[in-house]
Amino acid sequence: MVDSQIRARGIKDERVLEALGRVPRHLFVPESLGALAYADEPLPIGEGQTISQPYIVAYMTEALELEGDERVLEIGTGSGYQTAVLAELVSEVWTVEIVESLALRARRTLEGLGYRNIRYKVGDGSLGWPEAAPFDAVVVTAAAARVPDSLQDQLGAGGRMVVPVGTDLQELYLILRENGGLKSKRLLSVRFVPLVKGT
Ligand code: SAH
């Protein structure tokens, strides 16, 4: 999967490629879909949600330019697959999921694999995780109509955020906090499930 689908499509960061190679993706998809676990496509994980396509996980992770000592906030734990890739690469991952059953299942999978550098929260991720801010990087894996202010506020100096923005037509944005201001750059067209509002 890593060589034929991810390296071949232009992902160059060796640490990201190695991390993808280490995470057993089949443990993050329903057993009945195990045969498709390493195909380059998103798959249903229950509750109307999906596990992102491996190439997109790689692309978003590479865009964060992680070096190893970062604290990263992830919004939309889902299956926990992107969480595992991040946990391979940085010192701390803080992940928020709004659907409790998904959060519990992801946590069980990730703890079973031995990851000890992940903090879990059930709640509305558009509010971020203020008690733990600032973060060096933020990755949002559900699409927002616009970038939530609280997530921008929780991005530390020099921090990087990748976030899909839009409703039907979505674009992935990279947001950088530089010299006290925010810069944003459009990366590519994507398709994610919507970021839903908490109740
Ligand atoms: N990274 C995940 C992607 C899951 S899809 C994976 O690879 O498996 C996006 C996830 O975002 C879903 O699990 C959905 O329940 C969650 N989500 C949607 N709105 C949310 C919100 N406001 N806060 C936190 N999680 C949210």
CA-197 nearest atom, ligand 1: 22
For residue 180, pLDDT beyond 90: no
Q: Are the CB atoms for 178 and 158 separated by under 8 Å?
A: yes
Q: Could you tell me the distance, in angstroms and rounded to a whole number, from the CA of residue 179 to the centre of ligand 1?
A: 31
Q: Are the CB atoms for 97 and 79 separated by under 8 Å?
A: no
Q: Residues 144-166: pLDDT tens digits?
A: 999 999 999 999 999 999 999 99
Q: What is the CATH number of domain 2-190?
A: 3.40.50.150
Q: How many CB atoms lie within 10 A of CB 133?
A: 18
CA-80 nearest atom, ligand 1: 8
Q: Could you tell me the distance, in angstroms and rounded to a whole number, from the CA of residue 98 to the centre of ligand 1?
A: 7
pLDDT value, residue 35: 93
pLDDT value, residue 167: 92
Active-site positions?
A: 52
Q: Residues 35-78: pLDDT tens digits?
A: 999 999 999 999 999 999 999 999 999 999 999 999 999 999 99
Q: Nearest to residue 46, comparing CAs of 117, 99, 118?
A: 99
The residue ranges of every structural domain in the chain are 2-190
State mean pLDDT over 171-182: 95
- For residue 134, cis peptide bond before it (omega within 30 degrees of 0): yes
The set of protein residues with a Cβ atom below 6 angstroms from ligand 1 is 49-52, 75-76, 78-79, 81-82, 96-99, 102, 124-126, 141-142, 193, 195-196
pTM of the model: 0.97
CA-closest residue to ligand 1 atom 7: 51
Percentage of the chain surpassing pLDDT 70? 99
26-31 long-range Cβ contacts below 8 angstroms, 24+ apart: 27/109, 27/112, 27/113, 28/79, 28/80, 28/81, 28/84, 28/106, 28/109, 29/79
